[in-house]
Structure formats: C-alpha cells, structure tokens
C-alpha cells in the first residue's frame, strides 16, 4: 500500500488511494461507527434534548471502548478507590455524549469523502478544516486496533516480526499503515 498524504497547500492534504485502500479504510470506519454506536438514548432529533443529554457514569466493559472513552481520573489499569470512581463517573456523565458524537463525526467525514471518491479509488484532496476529522478518525482506529492487539510500548516492535501465518497479521498491517497515514497527514498539514 503506497497511498500516503502529501501537502496540497494551505493546511490541506492529498492522497492517492487505490480501490483496495479505499475499501479497507471505509470498512474500518464503518466498523468504528458500529463500535461507537449512537450513544445513550440513541440519536435524538430534538436539539434541546440532545443539549441536556447525560452520558453513562460507568466505564465501558469492552477494552477498545474503554480506551476510546477512558476514565478522567486515576491511573489506567490500576484499581480506583470509591472517590476516584465517583469523580470519573461524574466527568463521564457530562462529557461522553459529546465525545461519542465527535468520534462519529470524524468517522463519517472519512466515509463520506471515500464514498465521493468512488470504488476505483483516485486522488482525494482534503481541505485543511477536514484534516482534523481524518486525524481523529485515524487516532480512534489505531487506539481500537491497539487495544484489540493488546499493544504495549514494550512489545510494539514485536508486531513487525509476526509471521505471516499469525491470525493477527492483517490487523497489525492495518495498525502500521494507519500510523503512517496519521504521520504523513500531520506532515502534509504542516507543509
């Protein structure tokens, strides 16, 4: 997969994607939308109800969702005392609905852009304002894949040495590619 971002000037970026790359990115983003879900109470058409919607107070049980929506207080992976759990629950209650909405917005921006490109691929130019959606979407995908692969700083290099017969290899390849996309997008925005 050779499609990486290049600067298109003014903080925008361009990337040439073949049909295979378009299919992979679109599939991953659709799966991300399914994972994130509509949030508590579904998606309301009433803007006033949405404004006052409260989120959950408990951390998600799914490790990938827990990585996407981490507790605000305490150390990751460490048991929290009752006060820390209560503070994290209150913070989550007032922020998770908006965070889920932003993550859905990021994933949808990528899906819509890819749909506009068509099945055969081509060159996609992303305006500077839309680049942040793509960065957020790539970050969320990498966090999710990293959680599913149980990636830690100590063993990340081991991912590069997995044998082709390892069932995790396709996810690892996607994880690495998304990292390259994220890095080159940042460079394109700056350049």
Name the average pLDDT for the chain: 88
Q: Where are the alpha helices (DSSP H) in 37-168?
A: 47-51, 63-68, 82-117, 128-149, 156-159
Radius of gyration of the chain (CA): 18
Q: How is the chain split into domains, by residue range?
A: 6-41+99-190
Convert the pLDDT of each residue in 57-94 to its tens digit.
888 889 999 999 999 898 877 778 889 888 988 998 88
CA 20-105-57 angle, 5° bins: 120
Give the C-alpha separation, 191 to 23, whole Å.
28
For 150, list phi and psi in degrees, rounded to 5. 55, 45
What's the pLDDT score for residue 94? Answer: 87
Convert the pLDDT of each residue in 106-143 to its tens digit.
999 999 999 998 778 899 999 999 999 999 999 999 99
Give the C-alpha separation, 116 to 112, whole Å.
6
Instruction: List CB contacts of 30: < 8 A, sequence separation 6 or more.
Output: 107, 111
Q: 81: helix, coil or strand?
A: coil
Q: Two tokens at 63?
A: 């490790």
- pTM beyond 0.75: the answer is yes
């Amino acid at each position: 997969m050779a499609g990486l971002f290049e600067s298109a000037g003014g903080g925008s970026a361009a990337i040439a994607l073949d049909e295979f790359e378009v299919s992979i990115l679109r599939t991953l983003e659709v799966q991300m939308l399914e994972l994130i879900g509509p949030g508590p109470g579904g998606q309301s058409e009433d803007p006033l109800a949405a404004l006052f919607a409260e989120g959950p107070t408990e951390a998600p049980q799914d490790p990938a969702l827990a990585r996407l929506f981490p507790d605000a207080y305490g150390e990751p992976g460490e048991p929290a005392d009752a006060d820390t759990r209560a503070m994290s629950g209150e913070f989550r209650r007032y922020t998770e609905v908006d965070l889920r909405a932003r993550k859905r917005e990021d994933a949808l921006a990528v899906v819509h852009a890819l749909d506009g490109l068509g099945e055969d691929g081509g060159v996609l130019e992303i305006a500077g304002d839309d680049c942040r959606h793509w960065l957020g979407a790539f970050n969320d995908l990498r966090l999710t894949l990293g959680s599913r692969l149980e990636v830690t700083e100590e063993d990340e290099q081991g991912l590069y040495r997995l044998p082709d017969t390892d069932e995790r290899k396709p996810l690892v390849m996607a994880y690495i590619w998304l990292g390259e996309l994220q890095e080159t997008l940042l460079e394109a925005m700056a350049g």
